[in-house]
Amino acid sequence: MSTQHAAGRYAPSPSGDLHVGNLRTAMLAWLFAHTTGRRFLIRMEDLDRAVAGADARQLADLASLGIDWEIPVVYQTARRDIYRDIIARLRDAGRTFECFCTRREILEAPSAPHAPHGAYPGTCRHLTDAERAEKIAAGRPPAIRILADTTEFTVTDLLHGTFTGMVDDFVIQRNDGTPAYNLAVVVDDAAQGVDQVVRGDDLLSSAPRQAYLATLLGETPPTYAHVPMVLNPAGVRLSKRDGAVTLTDLAAAGVSAATVLSHLAQSLGLAGRGEAVDLPTLAARFVPEALPREPWLLGPTEWASTA
């Protein structure tokens, strides 16, 4: 673990503009960090897909709400060699194996005993050298999976309490050589001194895998706070189909960043309707235990009276 002072973070993927749900989570991450004396960091998780200029627009949108962070912003693509070194370390310790299964083969395979459908069934765990060589010769590059010695792991969440979830032989390097999210996020949090992870509650189920991997690497898992998401009236994740959901869209409709901040604060019980607020004011009012546990359903009329 880094010896740096403890930190919280927000880690977007620069694949497009942030929508108000992303901004609400970022605001909560900032509030959790600042009200507990932590540094606040931004990390760009750009291993999978990055759209040119999206990172700069995301940072500008965060700043427009008053969110600040320590520099530099870390980009995962600059850390590939570090991930590869960690994967090699795990391999040398006998904690990994090569997997040649496709996603479809995994879904169609019988589940391992007591494992839920979709958990990795262990198909490639015990391949012989000859079997591995045959698959490689057939042109199927392997992913690398962690060789898990447990089927579940327990984490502590500030909003959900004690949560025990599944751990299977999850992928730590994809078959194209790209380090997997579940590895990169653990390595980066440890390196940056992140001991508090605030993110959407759709990621709660992935926390046990990541915390388990942290322990394998000799790290202390962070404390989590998986916060409610923002959904459309049908209960589905926000998308462009839902209309004005980014600051750029809203600005074009005459809705200012200050108004968006006010609405986000109101949705969390931190401000009255239409009240002008800033982040220091919200920090003074912030009580994690009082946060809503249900998603915020954002309808098209939310901004109607503000433009």
d(CA 279, CA 285): 10
Instruction: Confirm whether residue 101 is marked as ligand binding.
Output: yes
Q: Are 41 and 69 in contact (CB under 8 A)?
A: yes
Nearest one of 110, 106, 115 to 145, comparing CA atoms:
106
Burial of 287 (0-12, 13-18, 19+ CB in 10 A): exposed
Instruction: Confirm whether residue 12 is marked as ligand binding.
Output: yes
Instruction: Confirm whether residue 99 is marked as ligand binding.
Output: yes
Instruction: Confirm whether residue 116 is marked as ligand binding.
Output: no
User: Residue 268, Cβ neighbours under 10 Å: how many?
Assistant: 21
Instruction: Confirm whether residue 10 is marked as ligand binding.
Output: yes
Instruction: Confirm whether residue 120 is marked as ligand binding.
Output: yes
Instruction: Confirm whether residue 135 is marked as ligand binding.
Output: no
Instruction: Confirm whether residue 75 is marked as ligand binding.
Output: no
d(CA 62, CA 274): 20
Q: Residue 240 phi/psi, 5° resolution?
A: -60, -25
d(CA 109, CA 105): 6
Annotated binding site for ATP: 240
Annotated binding site: 9-13, 45, 99, 101, 120, 124, 181, 199, 240
Annotated binding site for Zn(2+): 99, 101, 120, 124
Annotated binding site for L-glutamate: 9-13, 45, 181, 199
